[in-house]
Amino acid sequence: MNWTWFHKLGSPKWFYQWASKWAGKLVWIGLLLLLIGVVWGLAFAPADYQQGNSFRIIYIHVPVAMLAQSCYLAMGIAGFVALVWQMKLAPVFIKSVAVVGAVMAFIALLSGAIWGKPTWGTWWVWDARLTSVLVLFLLYMGVIAIQNALDDQVFADKAVAVVSLVGVINLPIIKYSVEWWNTLHQPATFRLTEKPSMPMEMWLPLLFSALGLYLFSAGIAMWRMQTEVLKRERKANWVKQEVMSDGI
């Protein structure tokens, strides 16, 4: 297998140019898919026989919660890459994704609370899964906080890599807490590998909105990474040329 594309991604300049081509497209395609999924889910999918219409928040809640976890997993992998291969872009990636992930975790908590009120009769329970998403949110905030506290860029990059790698240990606990503690929260509704437990016309919009949110967030993260690369490489010649060619 040819790995040149991967090695090329390690160079800020090449990444910047590659991202300028793709980031916008990803955001718009993601937004479109998300819109299709959400409108389809909110307006056209059949109501749940038990929860009625209140289940429809699933089309926001589940994709957002999935993304909150995936972002952290991606950060952990990037942390490993940053520590072992010292790729320049890995810390940039962590810094950009941390904010996206924190927002997703927050929306997951919020939408979960809104969903919990009509179905469980309470905004919040100290259930394992809810608690671990709260912890996930705090972990994101920790990464953002240490990034802001350390002035030395090299040290800050190392620190966030360590923190995100260590925090990834928390992910399996989140993932398997439902099975471990068997609590109020229903088990995961959405798995690509298994036959869906809900009917097709409910499941498809969920697939659309999840896929859309993934693409959208990837695009947003790439935009943030581009900004960060520009900031870090501000003394490089190619950045000057890039800015000049934009007509400034």
- CA torsion angle for 235, 238, 244, 248 (degrees, to 10)? -50
Q: Which stretch binds other proteins (CB under 8 A): 34-42, 61-69, 155-163, 186-194?
A: 155-163
State yes or no: residue 125 binds other proteins (CB under 8 A): no
What does the block give as tokens for 1? 């297998």
What does the block give as tokens for 89? 């872009």
- CA torsion angle for 207, 209, 210, 216 (degrees, to 10)? 140
CB of 97 to other proteins, least distance (A): 18
CB of 56 to other proteins, least distance (A): 32
- Taking the alpha carbons at both ends of the chain, their separation in whole angstroms is 42
Total residues contacting other proteins (rule CB under 8 A)? 25
Identify the sign of the CA torsion 138, 139, 145, 146. positive
Using the minimum distance from each CB to other proteins, give the nearer residue, 36 or 141: 141
Using the minimum distance from each CB to other proteins, give the nearer residue, 114 or 150: 150
State yes or no: residue 131 binds other proteins (CB under 8 A): yes
State yes or no: residue 13 binds other proteins (CB under 8 A): no
Using the minimum distance from each CB to other proteins, give the nearer residue, 123 or 155: 155
State yes or no: residue 139 binds other proteins (CB under 8 A): yes
Near other proteins in 166-185, by CB under 8 A: 166-167, 169-170, 173
State yes or no: residue 138 binds other proteins (CB under 8 A): yes
Concatenated DSSP letters for 46-115?
PPBTTTBGGGGGHHHHHHHHHHHHHHHHHHHHHHHHHHHT--THHHHHHHHHHHHHHHHHHHHHHHHHHH
Of 32, 36, 42, 83, the one binding other proteins (CB under 8 A) is: 83
State yes or no: residue 204 binds other proteins (CB under 8 A): no
What does the block give as tokens for 165? 């790698």
CA-nearest of 103, 105, 110, 115 to 186 is: 115
Q: Which stretch binds other proteins (CB under 8 A): 16-24, 105-113, 161-169, 237-245?
A: 161-169
